Amino acid sequence: MPPNTNAAWREPRGKPTRTPMATVRKRKWRTASGESRSGFFVDYYDAQGKRDRKLFDNRREADDFRIETEGQLRSGSFRPDAAKVTVKEAAELFLAHCKIRMERRERMTRRNYQVYEGYVRNYICPDPDWHAKKHATKSHAFNYFDKGLGHKTLAQLTVGSVTKFRDDLRAAGLSVATTRKILAMLQVMIGYAISLDLIAFNAAKDVEVIATRADEARQVVPPSKEVMRQLIDLADDTFRVQLVFAAATGVRAGELHALRWRHINFENREVRIETRVDPYGNEDVPKTKAGRRVIPLGEGVLAALKAWRQISAHPAKDDLVFPNQLGRYLNHDDMVKRKFLPLFDELAKHWKEQRVNEALEVFAWHALRHFAISCWIDAGLPPKTVQTFAGHSSLQVTMDRYGHLFRSDDHGRAMDAISNEVFHVSKPVKQIGTSGKDALTLG
């Protein structure tokens, strides 16, 4: 049958839709002891139709809250829990989430988790008990930072409060790099709170940490080839191969210690980087897709690896190339302390005997990566190839860090062409007068 057009229209059954709104009403009541009380309630419904209320002592405070709440409801940024959940509670939720990701190996290593936890409990939400336990020894001692954000609610987490937090970190003596890392982690933490609908705005997103011009202009300076040759000559037979390989391939420390013989193709003269190991012995794939790469090997490096495999106690294809005595992962910090750093003492002693009038600069193990990349650039490899071999996530990363090392004869030829086309010197330099107007003309 056709619908009855004369029937009265009825609202569909179910929960009626409500336009987000807030109202203020005064209420009087008596307490259990009979005392008379009064206050102003603000009643409001969120976008999901959930009712909530808040009590104020006077009408002005209630109206201010109503106006603010209605504005947030209209813009869709209202989150009722933002005024209830503290930054500390949000941080605990975030750390619990990170711990689950770590256990599932969802791009969260144990090292990542500990760094995040350290930033939270040392700076964002300072915990005196945790601090006292973790920093009891002199080697880990530093002043307790007591100007965190943990006591604030998420609603109080404004750009201004995060900016003050940044300034407090710098005033406490933290470097630009460390402050940037803490704020970056805070931004990720707030992003997770947004995903839980606890807050709608990320107050840490646009807060910058400004460095001095000198810090921003600081460039990567790789070790010199002569210093590297001397360090390699001073290394013992077992450590020399490891030093040569790291300086030739530019692999990261975790990639080096996870390298197995099956990753080296002697016939094709290349090494495949597809694993890494963290300081806790957890092996995984590289952090980024670009980290999985193939690096060609020179004849000298291949010869050293072949000789090392013949005398190694662990030459099987699934064995580590550079293991400890038990065939397990080599402790990187221990290797640097026992093998790498003593080379500088020996070289300094050698320079003193040879009366070399130059100060020896001790560099970290990671500088071997800078050395390898600088050698590739010096050999004329194009930027995209350097990016691939280095395992950088983008060409922009390569150019930002090593762009100043790229040199080309084409640059000089281009400047000569511009000079010859635009500028013409009409007289020899020795004949140019004091004004020089008759010596330099534009073409």
The per-residue pLDDT for range 48-80, each reduced to its tens digit, is: 677 888 888 888 888 888 888 777 777 777 777
What b-and-e string marks burial along 261-278, b requiring 16 or more CB atoms within 10 Å of the CB? bebbeeeeeebbbbbbbb
One DSSP character per residue, 149-199 reads STTSBGGG--HHHHHHHHHHHHHTT--HHHHHHHHHHHHHHHHHHHHTTS-
The whole-angstrom separation of Cα 342 and Cα 330 is 18
Q: Is residue 32 classed as helix, strand or coil in its secondary structure? A: coil
Question: What domains are there in the chain, each with its CATH number?
Answer: 23-78 (no CATH), 87-216 (1.10.150.130), 225-402 (1.10.443.10), 408-443 (no CATH)
The three-class DSSP label of residue 71 is helix
* Alpha helices per DSSP H over 12-109: 59-75, 87-104
- pLDDT given for residue 4 in this prediction: 45
Q: Encode pLDDT of 411-425 as tens digits.
A: 677 777 776 777 655
Q: pTM to 2 decimals?
A: 0.74
Cα-Cα-Cα-Cα dihedral sign, residues 420, 425, 430, 433:
negative
- Render pLDDT for 128-183 as a digit per residue (tens, 0 to 9): 888 888 776 665 556 789 999 999 999 899 999 999 999 999 999 999 999 999 99
Alpha carbon distance 91, 189 (integer Å): 7
- Count of Cβ atoms closer than 10 Å to residue 38 Cβ: 9
Q: What is the DSSP letter of 210?
A: P
- Of residues 381 and 20, the one with the higher pLDDT is 381
**pLDDT single digits (tens) 308-333:** 999 999 999 999 999 999 999 999 99
Phi, psi of 356 (to 5 degrees): -80, 120
